[in-house]
């Protein structure tokens, strides 16, 4: 199997596994907020998620150790939920509960204690002045981060790499590639709107929102060169649809890190575990083992270990079976 970037509207699938109690409120998986902001209810955590969340943290701890033994540095990147970053745009009758508000930081603390190289984006996103308008970190009508959010994520990842000896050594061991970046002068109208598609019929229509975007180019090469991994790519960026090239995230990392990289985006219905296993089975890994893997997982997917029962049955894997298969692939 040859891996390639795949863009899917993650909320369309996520809605099918959203808790029945939340959906029963109004039959919709979307919260209509202030100023034409839309949110997915799936981002609200529940205390009943705690067991699955702890299982996910334990899985990440174990695979981190497997990569360490293989001489591969693993940087975990957790995408903060839009409902927390833009909580001020939630309707007045929808409030963040304490469990949802604190889940990200609590998970980061647990992962750090377990020795995982976790990159926390939480503080950077919560304190960013880009709350609304063309530079907002998340799109109003879509689940995903904007180019501005992708760039802030890349800059935060680079800061963590610089501060972490393990990650810095891995980054230093990869070849330098020169990239330039140009921001557009004004926002572009975009039609990325996975949340609009989930609204009940007859809901008011929304014009395309305008989002400020950038272009990244490798020096002395065409933009087409960004799409090819090449033999010099010793950094792999893997994750959900937030890692898809359409969000700007892979190119933001290329520019900030000044490195080429292999970018892999996995549909949310498969989950991060199936995606990682598929990568380890692929020639992209077998013939060109990376020095550094940057693995992105959305905060809301902390509740979804390999054996998560609400996932499509094709992609449910017993936790220990998944670990055994990955360990065999890494030997």
Identify whether the C-beta of residue 171 lies closer than 8 Å to the C-beta of residue 72.
no
pLDDT in tens, 176-202: 999 999 999 999 999 889 999 999 877
What is the distance between the alpha carbons of residues 104 and 81, in angstroms, rounded to a whole number? 9
What is the distance between the alpha carbons of residues 18 and 12, in angstroms, rounded to a whole number? 10
Structure pTM?
A: 0.90
Query: In 10 A of CB 178, how many CB atoms?
Result: 12
Count of alpha carbons within 13 angstroms of residue 259, beta-carbon side: 25
What is the distance between the alpha carbons of residues 5 and 243, in angstroms, rounded to a whole number? 8
CA-wise closest residue to 232 among 242, 221, 243: 221
Distances (CA, A) of 52 to 47, 56, 57, 228: 10, 6, 9, 37
pLDDT at residue 22 in the model: 36
Query: In 10 A of CB 242, how many CB atoms?
Result: 21
Identify whether the C-beta of residue 231 lies closer than 8 Å to the C-beta of residue 288.
yes
Q: Which two tokens stand for residue 113?
A: 């204690």
Q: Which two tokens stand for residue 315?
A: 């992609």
Calculate the average pLDDT of the chain: 89
Calculate mean pLDDT across residues 232-249. Answer: 94
pLDDT in tens, 144-182: 999 999 999 999 999 999 999 999 999 999 999 999 999
């Amino acid at each position: 199997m040859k891996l390639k970037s795949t863009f899917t509207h993650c909320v369309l699938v996520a809605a099918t596994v959203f808790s029945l109690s939340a959906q029963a409120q109004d039959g919709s998986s979307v919260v209509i907020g202030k100023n034409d902001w839309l949110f997915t209810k799936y981002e609200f955590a529940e205390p009943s998620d705690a067991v699955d969340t702890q299982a996910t943290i334990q899985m990440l701890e174990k695979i981190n150790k497997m990569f360490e033994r293989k001489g591969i540095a693993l940087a975990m990147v957790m995408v903060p939920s839009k409902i927390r970053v833009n909580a001020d745009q939630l309707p007045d009758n929808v409030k963040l509960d304490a469990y949802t508000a604190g889940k990200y930081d609590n998970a980061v603390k647990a992962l750090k204690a377990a020795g995982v190289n976790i990159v926390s984006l939480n503080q950077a996103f919560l304190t960013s002045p880009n709350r609304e308008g063309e530079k907002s970190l998340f799109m109003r009508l879509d689940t995903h981060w904007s180019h501005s959010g992708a760039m802030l994520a890349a800059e935060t990842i680079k800061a963590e790499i610089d501060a972490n000896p393990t990650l810095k050594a891995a980054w230093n061991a990869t070849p330098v590639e020169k990239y330039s970046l140009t921001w557009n002068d004004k926002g572009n109208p975009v039609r990325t709107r996975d949340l609009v598609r989930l609204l009940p019929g007859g809901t008011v229509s929304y014009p395309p929102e305008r989002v400020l975007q950038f272009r990244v180019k490798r020096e002395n090469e065409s933009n087409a060169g960004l799409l090819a991994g090449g033999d010099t790519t010793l950094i792999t960026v893997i994750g959900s649809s937030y890692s898809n090239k359409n969000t700007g995230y892979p190119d933001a990392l290329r520019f900030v890190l000044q490195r080429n990289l292999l970018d892999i985006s996995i549909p949310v219905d498969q989950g991060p575990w199936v995606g990682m296993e598929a990568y380890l089975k692929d020639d992209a890994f077998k013939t060109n083992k990376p020095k550094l893997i940057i693995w992105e997982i959305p905060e809301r997917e902390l509740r979804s270990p390999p054996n998560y029962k609400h996932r499509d049955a094709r992609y449910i894997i017993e936790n220990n079976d998944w670990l055994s298969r990955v360990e065999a692939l890494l030997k």
